[in-house]
Amino acid sequence: MGLDIRLPIGLLFSIFGVLLIGYGALGDKSIYARSLDVNINLWWGLIMLGFGLVMFVLGKRGTKMKV
């Protein structure tokens, strides 16, 4: 099918990543008591952004996954 699914996945995860990183870096830090004092928004946001970018780049290059 014409649309490479990796593009929307990459885009969505990148947006989520940026949102979470922004909120984790700038927002109130006292909310992280419940997540065991881990700034989970920041860290998980970074991971999601990384994954999103990889998916997006793979989709852009149109490399066929060899599975």
Partner 1 sequence: MLQTIDWAIMVVYFVFVVGIGVAVKRYVKTSTDFFLAGRSIPAWVAGLAFLSANLGAQEVIGMGASGAKYGISTSHFYWIGAIPAMVFVGVFMMPFYYGSRARSVPEYLRLRFDEKTRGLNAISFAVMTVFSSGISMYAMAKLIQILHIFDAPFRMMGLPQPWIFHFSLVISALVVLAYILLGGLTSAIYNEVLQFFLIVAGFLPLVYLGLKDIGGWSGLKANLDSSYMHSWAGMTNAHTNRLGVEWFGLAMGLGFVLSFGYWCTDFLVIQRAMAADSMSSARRTPLIAAFPKMLFPILVILPGLIAIGLPMQKMMNTNPAAVVSGGKGLIPPKMDAVGQPIVDRNGVAELDYDLATPNMLLHYFPTGLLGLGLTALLASFMSGMAGNVTAFNTVWTYDIYQSYINKGASDEHYLWMGRMATIFGILLSVAAAYMATRFNNIMDMLQLVFAFVNAPLFATFLLGMFWKRTTGHAAFTGLLGGTIAAALHHGLTLPEGGMAGVKGGWLETMHTYPSEMAQNFWTAIFAWTTCFVLTIVISLVTRPHKEEDLKGLVYSLTERPKEGHLSWYARPATLAIIVLGLTLVLNIIFR
Does residue 26 bind partner 1 (CB under 8 A)? no
Tell me the CA end-to-end span of the chain in Å, nearest whole number: 17
Report whether 46 contacts 21 (CB < 8 A). Answer: yes
Does residue 16 bind partner 1 (CB under 8 A)? yes
Segments in the chain forming alpha helices (H): 6-26, 40-61
| Nearest CB to partner 1, comparing residues 5 and 57 | 5
- Residue numbers of the site for partner 1 (CB under 8 A)? 1-3, 5, 8-9, 11-13, 15-16, 19-20, 23-24, 27, 31-36, 38, 40-41, 44, 48, 51, 64-67
